[in-house]
Structure 1
C-alpha cells in the first residue's frame, strides 16, 4: 500500500513494503527521488537494517550459532504497519517475529518516522531492544536522487574542506585499500570514473552535510549529523546518485564473523531505545 504526506512545498509518498520513500515532489511536480526503473536499479530509497552492506559469506555467528543475512538486511523487503499518520508526518513500524528471528535472533522494534516541514523531509529511525540481552545492529539510508541532466553537470559540495579517503570494496567486502579523493574548495565534481570500483565508502568525515550542485547551483542537501559513516553510489550511465548516511558498513575481507564484534555497529542495551535521523532539503 502507498501513503502520502504533504507540506506547503512538497509531497512525499511511501510504500508499506520496506517503509520506503518512493517519491518526493515539489508543487511543480518535479521529482527528486529515482523512479526505480529496473533497467538500472529497481529501488528508490531502501532502509538498511539490521546490517549495512554485505557480511562475509553472507553469515555471522552469535552465541555459537551461525545465521545468514543477505546484503543490507531484511527490513527493505518486509511489510511495515502504519503506527500513526497526520497531514505532514507518518510513522511505520516493524517488529521481530519468528521469521526475522531465523536470521536475526533479537526482539527488536524498528520505527521509521517521516516528517515534512516546508522544503525539508526529516527521516528518523527509532530502534528499540525489547529483549533481555544486548542487541548489535547497523542501520542506514539509501536514498537515490534523480539527476535529469548530464551526470557531469553535477558536483558535491561538502560542508567542510575534507581530506577524503574512501575504503575500496573487494567482492562487496571492505578491502585494506584506501583511495584518496581530492576536493577543490570543498567541491567534488562528479564523473562515473569515481565509481569504477563500486561505492565510495567514508568511515570518517568532518562534514555533516553534503549538497548536490546542478550546474554549480544548489540542488538538494542531505544532512546526517547522527551518522558517522557515509556511502555514495551510482554506476556508469546510471541517471541517479545515492547519498547514504550509515551507522555501520560491510564486513572486511578479514572479518572473524562474530556479530557482537562487527565493526561500526551499535550494541544496544536491553530494553533500550535509540533514535537516529537525517534530512533531505530541496533547494531548487
Structure 2
C-alpha cells in the first residue's frame, strides 16, 4: 500500500514496504525530486536503515555468546510496516519485533517512522525507537534517501553542489572497503561547496561526523534551480554517496545514528562502534526534515 500526502505544491508518496519514501513531485511542473529506482544503477528510493547502519564484519555479530547474521543496513527496509495513524498531511508507520526479527536480532522493540508535510514544502521525518522490555537493547538507525541529480532538463550531475551549514571543518570518517576507520579522520572543509564529481566516491561515501549538532545540507545548482535542503536536528553522522563507476544520475544524503563496523571490530554487539543503547522502557528519537524548492 502507498500512502499519499499532499499540499498546494507537492505530492509525497510513501510505501508501507520498508516505510520507504518513494516520490516527491512538484505539481506545477511535474518535477520529481526522488530517485525512481532504476536497477541499472540502484534499485531503491530512500530505504530506512535499522537495526544497523552499514556493514557488520563478516555480516555477523555476537550477543550473550550467541552468533547472529545480519546483512548490510539491517532488515527494516525489507519488511512491511503497518500504518497506525494517518491524516491528509501526515502518516506514522510502525514495525515491531517478531519471530523473524528475533532470529536476526534478539531484542524486543517498537520502531515508528512519522512523515508530516507542512505548508512550507517541508517534509518532517521522525524515527522513534522504544524498548518495551526490561533488557537493555542495542541499535543503530538511519536514512538513505536518493535525490535526482539532475532534477531539471539540460542540467547534468556535475552542475550540482552540496553546501553544508554550519560552515566549518568537519571530521570525515574514511572507509576501508565497507568498514569504518574512525581512528584516522580527515578534515572536510565546508567553506568550499562540494561539487558533485563521480571520482570522489571511489572509496564509497563521504561521511561527516556531526556530533548531534543541528546541520543543514543544500543540494542544488548554483543559479535559479530547484533543489532540496536537508536539516538534521540531532544526527551523529551524515553520508553523501553515489555508486562509483556507474555515472548514476542521483546522489544520496543520508542521516545516520550509527556507522559500519571498524576493520578491527570484535563482533560483540555491545562493543560495536557507534552503537546506541536503550535501557528498559526507554525511548529514542531521531529528527530530520527535507524542504523542496
State which drifts further: 195-204 or 87-96. Answer: 195-204
Residue 199 (structure 1) aligns with: 205
Alpha-carbon shift at residue 217 of structure 1 (Å): 4.6
1:254 and 2:264 aligned: yes
Query: How far apart, CA to CA, are the structure 2 residues paired with 1:56 and 1:280?
Result: 32
For 1:97 and 1:160, the matched residues in 2 are separated by 41
Comparing 144-153 and 158-167, the one that deviates more:
158-167
Whole-angstrom CA distance in 1 between matches of 2:14 and 2:94: 13
Tell me what 1:131 maps to: 133
TM-superposition CA deviations, 1:61-119 (whole Å, max 9, x none)? 11111111100000000011111111000111110001100010111011111000021
Which residue of 2 is the match for residue 244 of structure 1? Answer: 254
> What does the per-residue CA deviation read over 1:212-250, in whole Å, with 9 as the maximum and x for residues that have no partner?
121345621000122121111002411111000100000
TM-score of the pair, normalised by structure 2: 0.92
Within a 5 Å distance, the mapping from 1:1-284 to structure 2 comes to 1-28=1-28, 29-118=30-119, 119-148=121-150, 149-175=155-181, 176-183=183-190, 185-204=191-210, 208-217=215-224, 219-236=227-244, 237-283=247-293
- Give TM-score scaled by structure 1 length: 0.95
Q: Distance in 1 between matches of 2:262 and 2:55?
A: 9
| CA-atom RMSD in angstroms | 1.6
**Distance 1:150-1:273 versus aligned 2 partners, 3 A rule:** same
**Whole-angstrom distance in 2 between the partners of 1:207 and 1:214:** 23
Q: What SS is found at the alignment partner of 1:227?
A: coil
Query: Residue 158 of structure 1 contacts residue 207 of structure 1 at CA under 8 Å; is this kept in 2?
Result: no
Q: Which runs of 5+ in 2 are unaligned?
A: none
* Paired residues of 1:182 and 1:188 also in contact (CA < 8 A): no
Moved more, 145-154 or 77-86: 145-154
SS of the residue corresponding to residue 158 of structure 1 reads strand
- Check the 8 A contact 1:155/1:216 in 2, yes or no: no
Report the secondary structure of 2:104's partner residue.
coil
Deviation at 1:186, TM superposition (A): 4.5
Mark the runs of 5 or more structure 1 residues left unpaired by the alignment.
Answer: none
Specify the SS of the correspondent of 1:121.
Answer: strand
How many residue pairs match? The answer is: 282
- Inter-partner Cα distance in structure 1 for 2:168 and 2:223: 19
Q: CA deviation at 1:164?
A: 3.4
Residue 77 of structure 2: SS of its match in structure 1? helix
